[in-house]
Chain A
Amino acid sequence: MSIDLLQGTLDLLILKTLALGPMHGWAISQRIEQVSSDVLRVQQGSLYPALHRLEQHGWVRARWGASENNRRARYYELTATGRKQLEVETSNWAKLAAAVAQVLQEG
């Protein structure tokens, strides 16, 4: 079973994935699926708009580079501001999750 991701959460997961090091788009989507044990499936069509948007905000930086078998790929890496944004969004997510959990407990 896989749950489709909302846009805001996709941004968070991309930032987190990139925190480990620069990656190209396809690799990012594979990574997220792997790490979540295939629970989270990335809507491939919305991945690239998200990446480009993050680039516009200045949270990631992109450059063309060579991948494993000498293929050209566009690599994204986290910027300093991106790192800060990651922290902000992580804490927001934690707060959200805690609040939802609390409401569910009450019921």
Chain B
Amino acid sequence: MWERLCSAFRSLLGRHASELELDEELRDHLERQAELYVARGLSPEQARRQARLDFGSVESTREECREAWGFTFLRTIPQDLRYAARVFAKTPVLSAVAVISLALGIGANTALFSLLDATYRRSLPVREPEQLVLAVNVSADGRGWYSNVGDVLYEELSRSPVSFSEVFAFTPEDATLRDAGGAERVETRLVTGNYYSALGVQALLGRTLGPHDDVPGTVSQACVLSYAFWARRFGRDPSVLGKVVYLGRTPVTVVGVTPPGLEGMGFVRQPDVTTTFNGTLGKYAVQVWARLRPGATLRQAQLEMDAAFGRYLEQLRTRAASWPEADRQRAFSRRGELRPAGRGNLELQAGLAEPLKVLPLLAAVVLLVACVNIANLLLARGNARASEIALRLALGAERRRLIRQLLTESLLLSAVGALLGILCAIWIHRAVLTLLVGEHAPEGLRFRLDLHVLAFTATAVGFTTFASGLVPALRATRRGVSRALKTEPSRAGAAPRNALARWLVVVQVAAAVVLLTGAGLLTRTLINLRAVGAGFKEPGSLLLMRMGLGHRYVDGAALVALYESILGRVRSVPGVAGATLAENDALGGSYWKTVYLPGYEPGPRESPQCAFNYIGPGFFATAGVPLLAGREFSTRDTVGAPEGVVVNERFARKYWPRENALGKRTGPAQDRSRWEIVGVVADAQVGSLRASVPPMMYHALYQQEKPRTVTLHVRAIGDPLPIAARIRQEMGVAEKDVPIYDVSTLDSRLERSVGRERTLAILSSFFGLLALGLTAVGLYGVVAYSVTRRTSEIGVRIAVGAGQAAVVWMVLRDTLALVGLGAAFGIPAALAVTRLVRGLLFGLTATDPLTLAGAALLLALVGIAAGYLPARRAAALSPTTALRYE
């Protein structure tokens, strides 16, 4: 066996030499035979001729010898490809449509595959990523988990050196970076001293941070810049080393720059500046990672994790004594787990889990629909060349050889489609990433044409080749094809011979119904979400701008003065109808806390929570939230004044369903009557549009001691963007060191909050319409072919007196029959499949009849449009030419 392979391979490589040798061998034989005849008395002429006759066909001997060498198909493929190219060049439009539809189908699949690859499989660009694990806090049923565990767990894990060679922690933080060049809001990351050594990352410039940097109360704190930030702000100037910049209020020295390509490492948000905790670890909810020792298994490590988590729970008991029972039970039923963290992007995994289940399925169906079109195209070609193929078979060609040649044609289409598809994939990948993650997707998540993606594309090509080419090839070369040699259009009454093509189109229609229904459901979800009012008046004219004040050395009355001075400047800008401050803006998420009322004990399963925010005077007037009772905060609500809170309607109705909430009191756990409710406002959305508005409590910003990061809310008259630019200018002059960032209108925030739904709606509609277009092409092809076959029948009908309308109706009826049959299969299929997207919908069920009916109706209309042209052509036939068609 091995020898056969070797010699076959050798003969393949030395093909030319083998051919020459074979020629020589056969020539030699003929010469000797001729000599024999000359010896018997024939003339040289006659001898040669006789020798030839004795031998038989030299060419077929040569061919048989070549067959014996094996791997003949490898030699025939270039030949077949050239032939296929010539065939396709003769019908450029049809071939172009086929190639483009394949390019889109294969491209979409490849793009989604590479996205999945980046999210789940790509290794982090660090040393031995498979040893890295992340500590997560998991709920009892295993479904809810979060990775922000506390410092206690970090401490406990660090005490378990058996399975771990390193344990490190980090947390992201916003900060204002200030230096001579101005102030800027940056992403920072606070890390433990062993962060870089545990990851195995070397500095590109200078050095990285080490344990000696992570010392509490150090005078000179060190920081490391990311490559992208260094390029952006410092223009890749190496003299940045040793420079002192201010992070918030703290001076830090730049000691190094990390190499490019670390972006996308495990998370979407990447730090611009990294510095050490320096004793502040206890204040944060941190991510805790560990590196397993070589040889340690995850199971061993998990045992240590369980022990550490147990010690953590012990320490939690004292702190949790004042919590509601339900919260306590929930907290203590959780457990700690170690998850492998060296691959993929955890943030993306969490955010993309749902869409990534649905989208690849859609893309696969689209590819299938495209394959059906190609198959029909090849079937039609096969029928047209039936006589040629029959002749070749009759002359002794091997059926296998012909099938190989026909498959090569679909291989050519698929390969060219795949090459274009890779270009499409780059674009589609980028578009999907932007839709899901925003403009600045990190480098590590970009489309990468690596081995995995190439292998996937090659598989797609193989699949497409066989899916679209095998059945037509088998069909075209089947026995009994001698009938084709006597081909003629069928006589009146004969059934259309393209039954297979018609069934394939039915499949296409069914697939299109499924895709369109899915697209309809997801699009309507988006529309429903958008229609949910956030509760603010005119969100398009409400400007939101975040300002970093955390580094200012003021508090108390001076802080209030600062706020007022800023607001004064803002209000002086023309076009500003009102301005106020708040800590969190709408839809920006909010803080949550437990509600304590005097004399109110929550039930055993209840955990009364509310969201809360800090707002400035006139907030509700500016933001456009109606005041239902009582009053807003004013400039008089400062430190020292009695502490009042405003609650929303939901809060008031929940705890005082039949009374007025004004005047009632609430407070923190230790002092439940501390705050008086001074106002009740209408419900306004704080988080996701999908959730209902939670009970909400508002505190006065001016009563808080320390400066915080605040969001400026500005009600603008007219176009908000130039007003935003003016405000920036004003602030740039007056308060140079206060960075302004994250500028948008509430409108665009709302839009951003439905980013995932928008992505799904756009993509599913794209796929649905693509499938619709492909199906329309398929329907057109099949109906046109049917008309051609029934030409004489139509001619007879017209001759006997059928009007144009009747003929048109006859063709359209045929089309509608196909569409109807397809819908009959498609509707139950859609009902079954759309159940998968149940969790993504809002405001409608997965079996929504309106959407289903809409999809079917759309297909019917498209079907009529596709069948119209052939119908017109049929009606315009003159009977004499039609009957003469034979």
By a beta-carbon cutoff of 8 Å, the part of chain A in contact with chain B is 24-26, 43-46, 48-49, 52-53, 55-58, 64, 71-74
Hey, which chain A residues are within 8 Å of B33, CB to CB? Answer: 26, 44
Q: Cα distance A44–B56 when bound, in Å?
A: 7
Q: How far is the CA of A46 from the CA of B60 in the complex (A)?
A: 9
Report the minimum CB–CB distance from A30 to chain B (whole Å): 8
Beyond A56-B69, A74-B21, is A45–B56 a contact (Cβ under 8 Å)?
yes
> Do B56 and A43 touch (CB < 8 A)?
yes
Say yes or no: B7 contacts A48, CB within 8 Å. Answer: no
Residues of A within 8 A of B60 (CB): 45
Contact with A along B45-77 (1 / 0, CB 8 A): 000000000111110110011011110000000
Is B128 an interface position by the 8 A CB rule?
no
Closest 6 CB pairs of A and B: A45-B56, A49-B64, A52-B68, A53-B68, A58-B3, A26-B32
Residues of chain A lying within 8 A (CB to CB) of residue B130: none
> Which residues of the partner chain B approach A26 to less than 8 Å between Cβ atoms?
28-29, 32-33
A43 to B54, CA, bound (A): 8
- Report which of A44, A58, A73 forms a contact with B55, defined as CB distance below 8 A: A44
Tell me if B486 is interfacial: C-beta within 8 Å of chain A.
no
B26 within 8 A of partner (CB) = yes
Task: Compute how far the CA of A43 lies from the CA of B60 in the bound complex, rounded to whole angstroms.
Answer: 13
Residue in contact with B26 in the complex, picked from A46, A48, A55, A71, CB distance below 8 Å: A48
- Considering the chains assembled together, what is the distance between the CA atoms of A52 and B63 in angstroms? 12
- Are A48 and B70 touching (Cβ within 8 A)? no
Q: Which residues of A contact B65 (CB under 8 A)?
A: 48-49, 52
Q: Within the assembled complex, what's the spacing in Å between the Cα atoms of A98 and B414?
A: 57
A45 nearest CB neighbor, chain B only: B56
Q: List 27 A-B contacts (CB under 8 A).
A: A24-B28, A25-B29, A26-B32, A44-B54, A45-B56, A45-B58, A45-B60, A46-B61, A46-B64, A48-B25, A48-B29, A48-B64, A52-B65, A52-B68, A52-B69, A53-B68, A55-B7, A55-B68, A56-B69, A57-B4, A58-B4, A71-B28, A73-B25, A73-B28, A74-B21, A74-B25, A74-B28
Establish whether residues B56 and A56, one from each chain, have CB atoms under 8 Å apart when the complex forms.
no
Please state if A49 and B28 are interface contacts (CB–CB under 8 Å).
no
CB B826 to nearest CB in A, in angstroms, measures 53
Q: What are the residues of chain B within 8 A of A46 when measuring CB–CB?
A: 61, 64
Question: Which A residue's beta carbon lies closest to that of B21?
Answer: A74
* B51 nearest in chain A by CB position: A44
Q: B8 touching A72 by the CB < 8 A rule?
A: no
Closest Cβ of chain B to A47, distance in Å, is: 8
Chain B residues near A73: list those with CB within 8 A: 25, 28
Q: Report yes or no: A72 in contact with B56, Cβ–Cβ below 8 A.
A: no
Interface: B347 (CB within 8 A):
no
Shortest C-beta distance, B30 to chain A (Å), equals 9
Q: Is B173 an interface residue (CB 8 A)?
A: no
Cα–Cα distance between A57 and B2 once the two chains are bound (Å): 10
Shortest beta-carbon distance from A23 to chain B in Å: 12
- Whether the Cβ atoms of A48 and B69 lie closer than 8 Å is no
Q: Does B705 contact A (CB under 8 A)?
A: no
* B4 contacts A45, C-beta separation under 8 Å: no
- Asked if B174 is at the interface of the complex by the 8 Å CB criterion, the answer is no
CA–CA, A49 and B67, complex, Å: 8
| B848 CB within 8 Å of chain A | no
Given A48-B61, A56-B7, A71-B28, 17 more pairs with CB closer than 8 A: A25-B25, A25-B29, A45-B56, A45-B57, A46-B61, A48-B22, A48-B64, A49-B64, A49-B67, A52-B68, A52-B69, A56-B8, A58-B3, A64-B21, A72-B28, A74-B24, A74-B28
Q: Shortest beta-carbon distance, A22 to chain B, in Å?
A: 14
Interface of chain B residues 107 through 152 with chain A (CB within 8 A)? none
Task: For residue A57, give the distance in angstroms from its CB to the closest CB of chain B.
Answer: 7
Residues of B contacting A55 in the complex (Cβ-Cβ under 8 angstroms): 7, 68
- Considering only CB atoms, which chain A residue lies closest to B3 in the complex? A58
CA distance A44 to B55 in the complex (A): 5
Q: Which residues of B contact A53 (CB under 8 A)?
A: 68
**A27 smallest CB distance to B (angstroms):** 8
Looking across the interface, which residue of chain B has its beta carbon closest to that of A74? B25
- Report the minimal beta-carbon distance from B110 to chain A, rounded to whole angstroms: 40
A56 and B61 within 8 A (CB): no
Chain B nearest CB, measured from A62 CB (Å): 9
Q: Which of A26, A46, A71 has the most CB of B within 10 A?
A: A26
- Residues in A whose Cβ lies below 8 Å from that of B54: 44
Least distance between B602 CB and chain A CB atoms (Å): 86
**Closest B residue to A79 using CB positions:** B3
Q: Shortest CB–CB separation between residue A8 and chain B, in angstroms?
A: 15
Residue of B nearest to A58 (CB): B3
> Is B55 touching A45 in the complex (CB atoms < 8 A)?
yes
Report the Cα distance A72→B29, complex, angstroms: 11
Q: Which residues of B contact A64 (CB under 8 A)?
A: 21
A72 to B859, CA, bound (A): 74
**B32 to chain A: which residues have CB within 8 Å?**
26
Q: In this complex, what residue of A is CB-closest to B2?
A: A58
A21→B356 CA distance, assembly (Å): 70
Q: How far is the CB of A87 from chain B (nearest CB, A)?
A: 20
CB atoms of A56 and B25 under 8 A apart: no
A45 to B30, CA, bound (A): 11
CA distance A3 to B374 in the complex (A): 52
In the complex, residue of chain A having the shortest beta-carbon distance to the beta carbon of B26: A48
Chain A's closest residue to B55 (CB) is A44
Q: Are A72 and B24 in contact (CB under 8 A)?
A: yes
Q: How far is the CB of B45 from chain A (nearest CB, A)?
A: 20
Taking a contact as CB atoms closer than 8 A, the residue among A48, A56, A71, A72 that contacts B4 in the complex is: A56
The winner among B7, B22, B28, B33 for most chain A CB atoms within 10 A is: B28
Residues of the A chain whose Cβ atoms lie less than 8 Å from the Cβ of B29: 25-26, 44, 48
Inter-chain contacts of A56 with B (CB < 8 A): 4, 7-8, 68-70
